[in-house]
Chains A and B, each alone.
Chain A
């Protein structure tokens, strides 16, 4: 390490160079998020354009898979319990079966030939990939050999990251996520009971200090080598919620590309320390407020679904059950690069059409003076379209509408309201609760009963844009909303808060 002043200058330069710039302002949710490419340099755009986690826009179109080859971990986190696993449980650290590197490579081929829009292979545990370096790197080698077009991605707690940066760069792993929950050991000691480092268990402040230092050092080393870094932070109310603004500054300074602040998942039945202690997670509004506070300083990821370490498919869906070891070993797979390319070219056409449609609609908003800004919920199953039935939606995507356009700001869980064709009243109440801060909900179709209940709750069900592009439709609806408000036809009323605790999807697709 050089002198503090030197390092800080270098970091600033890196930050300006590697990040997506700081000037985006309100309209910029995440890199390339809203209008696709945004102000990204070509080299970075090439890296993120079909990575669903690094580009909000890409996550409507491209899929990822995680292979669970790394079970061992070298730290203990109070929000994690490795003992618990359930096939219907979707959250980080959970898997149904471990794979060998060879099985993982085979699984990748099976998934790639079934889901041609699968572009990213990630290793995210269920432990720490770098605590299992042999299996992790062997898997990446095999995958790169079998499918050179697949992007390689890694997620780590960062403790031993500095020791492996050269291997990561050498294997062409272009994306690395580091989970950083604190830069202050006092706070870290409340999150991490211990770490295992250099053959020794450290606890308390000492453990948190080593971990924090190693994380930031690893981040610097990666960004110096041009590797895109995403920072994951778990928002734990009362422990690190305020502090994450400081974390945001620290990682931005070191050239991190994207910051993903996720809500704590702490159901008591998961058996985590936080869960058993009754530590609550943040509400969707608290989460959004923190993300908004960090935005402008840096690109924020708001489309994270906190997936399993063996998740497969688009974010928000999980097809891992289709690809169990038993099934993939019986599959006869051939890697068909040509078909994949052709399919992805079609996806790109769709994307271009979507952006163009939105631009047209945006032009219509030009000159709009209203300061009204509101949220709407959207039922979608991908491709950036309003293409999901209200009753089938497992989640709703939330867009913020203002005179600057439509901006993706998050998603709300709605574990199936409709089971076998008829709605259950309890779950409808839950959905209304979950999207209670939204003015409207856009759906492909909706039954009469939920429709009238939504209207009663003050949420307008909108089905006139079925199977059309989300952003274009939302802007068109917003424009007519503003006109109605202006003409006095309807009053604009602020919506109340939502009440649901954020969390990952519980039901598998």
Chain B
């Protein structure tokens, strides 16, 4: 379930929204947010989380440690 966007660092460029395979990212109040219910950490889609790979600001798309890691269903 786990990536989140640190709002204070988000440039609102929307690059992550375009890349997310789960359509989990949307704009809210000027910056972008990840719906933790939809995020799969890109497991099953890509080798690396797309939001992290495309984000222009380092350490802005990060794992949300308050939530358990995503478990791919068998």
Bitwise, A198-229 to B at CB < 8 A (1) or not (0) is 01110000000000000000000000000000
Whether A76 is near chain B, meaning CB under 8 Å from some CB there, is: yes
Q: Is the CB of A199 within 8 A of B46?
A: yes
In-complex Cβ contact of B13 among A73, A199, A200, A201 (8 A): A73
Residue among B14, B17, B47, B54 having the largest count of chain A Cβ atoms under 10 Å: B54
Q: In the complex, what's the smallest C-beta–C-beta distance from A127 to chain B, in angstroms?
A: 6
A334 is an interface residue with CB less than 8 A from chain B = no
Known: A76-B56, A83-B57, A199-B19. A127 touches B50 (CB 8 A): no
A200 x B47 contact (CB < 8 A): yes
Q: Quick check: A200 and B53 within 8 Å, CB to CB?
A: yes
Q: How far is the CA of A73 from the CA of B57 in the complex (A)?
A: 12
Interface check A131, CB cutoff 8 A: yes
Contact A200 B15 (CB under 8 A): no
Q: Nearest CB to that of A131 among chain B residues?
A: B15
Please give the distance in Å from A252's CB to the nearest CB on chain B: 32
The interface residues of chain B lying within 8 Å CB-to-CB of A76 are: 56
Chain A interface, DSSP helix/strand/loop, else mixed: loop
Distance between Cα atoms of A199 and B57 in the complex (Å): 17
- In the assembled complex, the Cα of A126 lies from the Cα of B14 at a distance in Å of 11
A337 proximal to B (CB < 8 A)? no
A201 and B46 CA atoms in complex are apart in Å by: 11
Q: Please give the number of chain B residues whose Cβ is less than 8 angstroms from any Cβ of chain A in the complex.
A: 16
Bound Cα distance from A83 to B46, whole angstroms: 27
Contact check, B48 vs A127: say whether CB atoms are below 8 A apart. Answer: no
Q: Which chain A residues lie closer than 8 Å to B11 at the CB level? A: 82-83
A72 CB within 8 Å of chain B:
yes
Q: For residues 117 through 176 of chain A, which have their beta carbon under 8 Å from a beta carbon of chain B?
A: 126-127, 131-132
Q: Are A201 and B54 in contact, with the CB atoms below 8 A?
A: yes
B30 nearest CB across to chain A (Å): 10
Q: A412–B50 Cα gap in the complex (Å)? A: 43
Interface residues of A in 72-88 (CB under 8 A from B): 72-74, 76, 82-83
A32 contacts the other chain (CB 8 A): no
B residues less than 8 Å from A201 (CB atoms):
48, 53-54
Do B14 and A72 touch (CB < 8 A)?
yes
Known contacts A200-B47, A200-B48; is-contact A74 B13 (Cβ 8 Å): no
Instruction: Tell me, yes or no, whether B62 is within 8 Å of chain A by CB.
Output: no
User: How far, in angstroms, from A130 to B12 measured CA to CA in the complex?
Assistant: 17
The interface residues of chain B lying within 8 Å CB-to-CB of A200 are 46-48, 53
**Nearest CB to that of A125 among chain B residues?**
B13
Task: Decide: A71 near B53, CB < 8 A? Known: A199-B19, A200-B48, A201-B48.
Answer: no
- Is there a chain B Cβ closer than 8 Å to A335's Cβ? no
Cβ-based interface call for B6 (8 A) = no
Q: In the complex, what distance in Å separates the CA atom of A228 from the CA atom of B50?
A: 34
Q: How far is the CA of A321 from the CA of B47 in the complex (A)?
A: 44
Min CB gap B72→A, angstroms: 18
Q: A476 CA to B53 CA in the complex, in Å?
A: 60
Q: Give B12-30 as 1s and 0s: 1 = Cβ < 8 Å from A's Cβ atoms.
A: 1111011100000000000
Q: Report A-chain residues with C-beta under 8 Å of the C-beta of B18.
A: 72, 131-132
Q: Which residues of A contact B13 (CB under 8 A)?
A: 71-73, 82, 126-127
* Nearest chain A residue, comparing its CB with the CB of B21: A199
* CB pair B14 A71 closer than 8 Å: yes
- What residues on B are CB-neighbors of A196 within 8 Å? 15, 19, 53-54
Contact pattern, A 172-201, Cβ under 8 Å of B = 1, otherwise 0: 000000000000000000000000100111
Question: A274 to chain B: closest CB distance in Å?
Answer: 15
Residues of B within 8 A of A73 (CB): 13, 15, 56
Q: How far is the CB of B20 from chain A (nearest CB, A)?
A: 11
Q: Determine the chain A residues whose CB is within 8 A of the CB of B47 once the complex forms.
A: 199-200
Interface flags for A304-339 (1: CB within 8 Å of B; 0: not) read 000000000000000000000000000000000000
Whether the pair B15, A72 counts as a contact (CB closer than 8 A) is yes
Residues of B contacting A127 with CB < 8 Å? 13, 15
- For B15, what are the chain A residues with a Cβ–Cβ distance below 8 Å? 71-74, 127, 131, 196
| Residues of chain B from 34 to 66 with CB closer than 8 A to chain A in the complex | 46-48, 50, 53-54, 56-57
The residue in chain A whose Cβ has the minimal distance to the Cβ of B54 is A196
Alpha-carbon distance between A82 and B60 when the two chains are bound, in angstroms: 14
A71 and B48: CB pair below 8 A? no
Q: What residues on A are CB-neighbors of B19 within 8 Å?
A: 196, 199
Least CB distance, B46 to chain A, in whole angstroms: 5
User: Beyond the given A72-B17, A73-B56, A131-B18, could you list 9 further A-B residue pairs with CB under 8 A, ordered by the A residue number?
Assistant: A71-B12, A72-B54, A73-B13, A74-B54, A82-B13, A83-B57, A127-B15, A132-B14, A201-B48
Would you mind naming 28 contact pairs between A and B with Cβ atoms under 8 Å apart? A71-B13, A71-B15, A72-B13, A72-B14, A72-B15, A72-B18, A72-B54, A73-B13, A73-B15, A74-B15, A76-B56, A82-B11, A83-B11, A83-B57, A126-B13, A127-B15, A131-B18, A132-B18, A196-B15, A199-B19, A199-B46, A199-B48, A199-B50, A199-B53, A200-B47, A200-B48, A201-B48, A201-B54
Closest 8 A-B residue pairs measured CB to CB?
Answer: A72-B15, A201-B53, A71-B13, A196-B54, A82-B11, A72-B14, A199-B46, A83-B11
